[in-house]
Amino acid sequence: MLYYQLMTNIFHLLLVEDEPQTVQMIRFYLEREGFSMTTAADGPSGEAAFGRQTPQLVILDIMLPGFDGLELCRRIRQQSAVPILMLTARAEDTDKAIGLGIGADDYLTKPFSPTEFIARIKALLRRAYRYNEPPRPTTLGGPRLQIDPARRRATLDGRLLELTPIEFDLLNLLMANPGWAFTRSHLLEKVWGYSDEAGEETVTAHISNLRRKLGSNGAELIRTVRGVGYAYQEDA
Ligand code: CA
Q: What pLDDT, in 10s, does the model give residues 178-229? A: 888 899 998 998 888 877 777 888 999 999 999 999 999 899 999 999 888 9
Give me ligand 1 centre to Cα 41, in Å: 8
pLDDT, residue 39, reads: 96
| Number of domains into which the chain is organized | 2
* Average pLDDT in the chain: 87
Query: What CATH number is given to the structural domain containing 159?
Result: 1.10.10.10
Under a CB-based contact definition with an 8 Å cutoff, are residues 16 and 64 in contact?
Answer: yes
Give me ligand 1 centre to Cα 39, in Å: 13
Domain that holds residue 90: 2-129
pLDDT, residue 5, reads: 34
Give me ligand 1 centre to Cα 131, in Å: 29
- The more confident residue out of 78 and 100 is 78
- Give just the sign of the alpha carbon dihedral 13, 128, 117, 44: positive
Q: Verify that 125 and 168 share a domain, yes or no.
A: no
Give me ligand 1 centre to Cα 18, in Å: 5
Give me ligand 1 centre to Cα 23, in Å: 10
Q: What pLDDT, in 10s, does the model give residues 222-232? A: 999 988 899 99
Burial code (b: 16+ CB inside 10 Å, e: under 16) for 39-67 equals: bbbbbeebbebbeebebbbbbbbbebebe
CA dihedral 11, 50, 116, 129 (to 10 degrees): -40
Q: Which residues surround ligand 1, an ion (CB under 5 A)?
A: 18, 61, 63
Under a CB-based contact definition with an 8 Å cutoff, are residues 182 and 230 in contact?
Answer: yes
129, 155, 180 - which closes a domain:
129
Give me ligand 1 centre to Cα 62, in Å: 6
pLDDT, residue 133, reads: 59
Give me ligand 1 centre to Cα 135, in Å: 34
Q: Verify that 125 and 144 share a domain, yes or no.
A: no
Q: What pLDDT, in 10s, does the model give residues 44-97? A: 999 999 999 889 999 999 999 999 999 999 999 999 999 999 999 888 888 788
Q: Verify that 147 and 125 share a domain, yes or no.
A: no
Which of 24-38, 93-107, 156-170 has the least mean pLDDT?
A: 93-107
